[in-house]
């Protein structure tokens, strides 16, 4: 009989069942996505948008990300049970059945599109559809098990919240939104590859060709440095092309230099064969701090001073 931590299937209490459904949505991923959404809305509006629009965009965006996460858990249920890092996911423990997960994913996705479409505008709804498609079809079904570049192109789904946020405020996609999209696109490899280095045994056991797992640390560290440089340079384009002001400029510069040092330190240790799992995870956690600082600065910037350029 399949069991869960709460006991035999069918005996889960209401609260435990709710927790299982929430776990399907990958809440930590949603938190990170929302960190980029509200600041982008504030910067696009150059003020605080209306509460109704904020709630519709955040809730719709969270539902879209949660739907994609639930679809991913359904698709990856066979490899999740092989990997130690994912062995407690609801479809592995039996807390949720595959059918329940699939129905939940569809319902959550439909709700997300309705909320974005009518709560913000149709463009935001269409971008929400694109975000789910990129993560579920392009990444989970096509790329993840076939190429070591899976997280590069599949990671585009994680960039969509800034486009959705900008479109929710302006009803169009403009250059600043594209720059922010590219910042997150270039940030994804330095963020995820150190994690896959740490859990390389898991990915190899599941036969998922994450670059951090299938390539040596020397090769991966070079890629991390290159992507980090590209990301920092791209972030600074917000000054001439996005009319960013002093707060964003200072934070983007200082945080960029700090994270570049982290990436180069990773590279140095990898070349000397002294890189440890702890060292790789330091860069992973540092990438989260970097992105958070950058977008907090983006949110504060419109309230402090005039643009430096333009």
C-alpha span between 2 and 278 (Å, rounded): 35
Q: Are residues 125 and 228 in the same domain?
A: no
Q: Which of 153, 170, 187 is the last residue of a domain?
A: 170
Cβ count near 212 (within 10 Å): 27
Q: What is the DSSP secondary structure assignment for residue 140, as one 8-state letter?
A: I
Counted domains in the chain: 2
Q: Are the beta carbons of 41 and 49 closer than 8 angstroms?
A: yes
Q: Are residues 186 and 274 in the same domain?
A: yes
Q: Are residues 132 and 193 in the same domain?
A: no
Q: Are the beta carbons of 68 and 189 closer than 8 angstroms?
A: no
How many Cα atoms sit within 13 Å of 221 on the Cβ side? 23
Q: Are residues 185 and 128 in the same domain?
A: no
183 burial class (0-12, 13-18, 19+ CB within 10 angstroms)? buried
**pLDDT string in tens for the chain (310-residue length):** 344 444 444 567 888 899 999 999 999 888 888 899 999 999 999 999 999 999 999 999 999 999 999 999 999 999 999 988 888 999 999 999 999 999 999 999 999 999 999 999 999 999 999 999 999 999 999 998 888 888 888 888 889 999 999 999 999 999 999 999 999 999 999 998 888 888 888 888 888 888 888 888 889 899 999 999 999 999 999 999 999 999 999 999 999 999 999 999 999 998 988 888 888 899 999 999 999 999 999 999 999 866 665 5
Q: Are residues 213 and 178 in the same domain?
A: yes
In a domain, residue 180? The reply is yes
Q: Are residues 95 and 193 in the same domain?
A: no
Q: Are residues 147 and 275 in the same domain?
A: no
| Domain span at 115 | 17-170
Q: Are residues 21 and 166 in the same domain?
A: yes
C-alpha span between 32 and 56 (Å, rounded): 18
Q: Which of 136, 152, 170 is the last residue of a domain?
A: 170
Q: Are residues 78 and 132 in the same domain?
A: yes
Question: At 252, which CATH number?
Answer: 1.20.120
How many Cα atoms sit within 13 Å of 236 on the Cβ side? 11
Q: Are residues 61 and 181 in the same domain?
A: no
In a domain, residue 7? The reply is no
């Amino acid at each position: 009989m399949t069991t869960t931590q709460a006991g035999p299937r069918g005996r889960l209490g209401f609260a435990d069942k709710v927790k299982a459904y929430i776990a399907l949505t990958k809440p930590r991923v949603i938190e990170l996505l929302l960190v980029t959404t509200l600041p982008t809305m504030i910067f696009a509006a150059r003020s605080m948008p209306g509460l109704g629009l904020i709630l519709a965009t955040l809730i719709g965006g969270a539902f879209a990300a949660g739907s994609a996460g639930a679809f991913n858990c359904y698709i990856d249920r066979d490899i999740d049970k092989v990997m130690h890092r994912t062995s407690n996911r609801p479809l592995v423990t039996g807390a949720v059945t595959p059918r329940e997960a699939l129905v939940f994913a569809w319902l959550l996705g439909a709700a997300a599109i309705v909320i974005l479409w009518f709560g913000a505008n149709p463009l935001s709804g269409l971008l929400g559809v694109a975000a789910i498609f990129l993560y579920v079809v392009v990444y989970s079904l096509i790329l993840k098990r076939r190429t070591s570049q899976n997280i590069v192109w599949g990671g585009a789904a994680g960039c969509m919240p800034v486009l959705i946020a900008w479109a929710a405020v302006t009803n169009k996609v403009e250059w600043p939104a594209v720059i922010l999209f590219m910042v997150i696109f270039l940030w994804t490899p330095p963020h995820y590859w150190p994690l896959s280095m740490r859990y390389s045994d898991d990915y190899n056991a599941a036969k998922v060709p994450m670059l951090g797992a299938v390539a040596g640390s020397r090769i991966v560290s070079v890629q991390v440095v290159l992507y980090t440089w590209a990301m920092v340079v791209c972030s600074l384009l917000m000054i001439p092309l996005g009319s960013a002001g002093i707060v964003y400029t200072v934070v983007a510069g200082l945080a960029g230099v700090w994270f570049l040092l982290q990436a180069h330190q990773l590279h140095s240790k990898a070349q000397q064969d002294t890189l440890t799992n702890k060292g790789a995870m330091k860069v992973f956690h540092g990438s989260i701090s970097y992105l958070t600082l950058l977008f907090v600065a983006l949110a504060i910037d419109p309230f402090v001073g005039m643009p430096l350029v333009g």
